[in-house]
Amino acid sequence: MKRPFLLAGALAALALGSSDAFAVQEPDVTLEFIQTAHSSSVLPLMHVSVTNTSYTPLNLVDRGTTSQLLIDGKPSVRGDVPFPGPPGLPAMGRWEACMPVQDYSPAISPGKHRVVLKMGSASSNSVTVDWPVPINWRKGNMKSRLKEVREIASALKKGLPRNCVEEWLTTPDGGMQDSTQVRYFLEPQMKIVVPYAHAGGSGGNDEVVDGPAKVYEEQRLKD
């Protein structure tokens, strides 16, 4: 339904004599870090949103694979790892997901930093992150582990892409699973149930968190 309006806008620009009506514009890039309220065994998530503001398709994979982090102004280069996004974005399309900070080198050090994500000629907003030293939950007890798992669940806000969730929750529970209520296992006997909904749109992130995640204690189910 949007194509006639996009075409009309481009034709109007041509009618006004614009020489770059169909020029590729750099996308809008938004950056945020998602982390638990206290030190945890999981590292912060780097949540990225890219919007193609151009009337032409955007080559996203080239910008993603050559992207850099500017950490306090110093470049940290993406390694030779697969880009988690689609090859490109259609006109006015949007993509959001989490890009692991561990894919960039040199690594971010513990402490407070200002971080910018560069994708091609586009730069994100500047974000302050207090990068933590991950804890070893095994040095605590069941009470401290349960508190940590609840903080992880609390940080999974509505609208967060599933690929972000599964940077932290890497082990699906066994047994029967409801596709809209996915159950994850965390050692020693914790579970988080995350509700999902289809995001829709053209951005490539199929599922997003659709409500509060629930935590309870139970042994892992076998397949």
The pLDDT tens digits for 165-212 are 999 999 999 988 888 999 999 999 999 999 999 986 544 458 999 999
CB 55 within 8 A of CB 10: yes
Which ranges of the chain would DSSP assign to H, the alpha helix? 3-15, 60-65, 142-155, 162-168
For residue 10, the model assigns a pLDDT of: 40
Indicate whether 124 pLDDT > 90. yes
Among the ranges given (15-19, 105-109, 114-118), the one the predictor scored with the smallest mean pLDDT: 15-19
Q: Do β-strands 207-209 and 190-198 pair in parallel, antiparallel, or remain unpaired? A: antiparallel
pLDDT tens figures, 14-62: 333 443 444 558 899 999 999 999 999 999 999 999 999 999 999 999 9
Write the CATH number of the domain with boundaries 1-135. 2.60.40.10
Residues of the chain with CATH 2.60.40.10: 1-135
DSSP-assigned beta bridge partners for residue 128: 114
CA pair distance 211, 194, nearest whole angstrom: 8
Secondary structure of residue 14 in the 3-state scheme? helix
Closest CA to 96 of 217, 203, 184: 203
SS (H, E, C) 177-220: CECCEEEEEECCCEEEEEEEEECCCCCCCCEEECCCCEEEECCC
